[in-house]
Amino acid sequence: MPRRIEDRNRHEVEIIEGDLIVDATGRTSRTPEWLVEMGYEAPQETVVNAYLGYATRWYQVPPGFEADWKVMTITSRPETGLLRGGGIFRVEGDRLLAILAGSNKDYPPTEEAGFLEFARSLPTQAFYEAIRDAEPISPIYGYRKTENRHRHYERLARFPERLVVTGDAYCGFNPIYGQGMTVAALDAQALDQLLREQGTADLSGFGAKAHQRFAGAVENAWLMATGEDLRYPCTEGERPGMMARFIQLYMDRLIRALPSDETAALAFMQAMNLTRAPAELFRPRIIWNVLKDTFSKAPDENLNAPRQGHFQPLTAPGD
């Protein structure tokens, strides 16, 4: 299968023959257009866009800084109109990594005064107070291309046999949830597995089979990322059904229970990092703890307060 490679720096065009071509060109992949040019159909796309933007800055920990947390997260609560959130990570070299985020185009500014004002507007002052006197040691970096985009190559009836589209080119996620690299690695693992099963002597139908596997590999991450993004009122994309809404409600309560429940916190981090299936969050012991936490708090505290957590580093049971 020939592929035309253009080196724009050297103004050279080269045709490379290959038995198998893998498109790993990320979100800006042009395979959909190339397919149409070659007489195939472009894949259907599912897009969920919360118009979330975030801004990040590094700080030096100020002298005398004391905190009982390693990570502070303030998550938004779209159902109460709170579309802003943030996180601070205390990392090596006595540094703080501060991230502010806003949805529905309520983007955090990337200039000094606006960034601090956005921090001050959060429903708790803890974030603002942590960075107010800290020395900035980087510019403020902004990022806004955060839509989730699944190109459904697995649904195409006709597709070049030995072409595979993977990673972000196949399915890109809102990067705020930090899943994309793991999913790209899961795709690579699926590809490796399929190559071992099918061998390289006859690659007919390989592309279609690979995309079927990728569809399974991205599923959990897709549900988690879009489930969160679809909470926002102006998010573009198909609204979740009853089941997804129930899961959102449960996740709300679970997140509120995390600072006081190490088992739930560990399971949550593992599910978010895709090292365990999200089904782990529905283990009876965790459900029980979530219910206990829910009923031990006043209704206001449960539903209207901002979700804020101060997490100590977690250790797996038995560590």
Ligand X SMILES: Cc1cc2nc3c(=O)[nH]c(=O)nc-3n(C[C@H](O)[C@H](O)[C@H](O)COP(=O)(O)OP(=O)(O)OC[C@H]3O[C@@H](n4cnc5c(N)ncnc54)[C@H](O)[C@@H]3O)c2cc1C
Give the residues lining the site for ligand X (CB under 6 A): 24-26, 28, 143, 167-169, 175, 178-182, 184
State which residue, 26 or 205, has the beta carbon closest to ligand X: 26
Longest dimension (CA), the chain: 69
Residues for the chain: how many in total? 319
* Long-range pairs for 91-95: beta carbons < 8 A, 24 or more residues apart: 94/60, 94/61, 95/58, 95/59, 95/60, 95/61, 95/137
Q: Which is nearer to ligand X, 62 or 178 (CB)?
A: 178
Other C-beta atoms lying within 10 Å of the C-beta of residue 150:
22
Question: Least distance to ligand X from the beta carbon of 246, Å?
Answer: 27
Nearer to ligand X, 173 or 232 (CB): 173
Helices 242-257 & 206-229, crossing angle to 10 degrees?
Answer: 60
Residue 7 CB, shortest distance to ligand X, in Å, is 9
Closest CB to ligand X among residues 143, 250 = 143
Find the shortest distance in angstroms from Cβ 13 to ligand X.
13
| Shortest CB 296 distance to ligand X, Å | 34
Tokens of 283: 């283990």
Q: How far is the CB of 180 from ligand X (least distance, A)?
A: 2
Which of 24, 195 has the CB closer to ligand X?
A: 24
At residue 237, what are phi and psi to the nearest 5 degrees? 140, 165
Bridge partners (DSSP) of residue 260 are: none
- Is 62 in contact with 241 (CB distance < 8 Å)? no
To ligand X, the closest distance from the beta carbon of 69 in angstroms equals 20
Q: Which is nearer to ligand X, 182 or 263 (CB)?
A: 182
Spatial separation of the C-alpha atoms in residues 244 and 157, rounded to whole Å: 29
Q: Of 226 and 294, which has the nearer Cβ to ligand X?
A: 226
Give the Cα separation of 255 and 277 in Å (integer).
17
Name the CA radius of gyration of the chain, rounded.
Answer: 22
Other Cβ atoms closer than 10 A to 141: 12
The nearest distance, CB 63 to ligand X, in angstroms, is 30
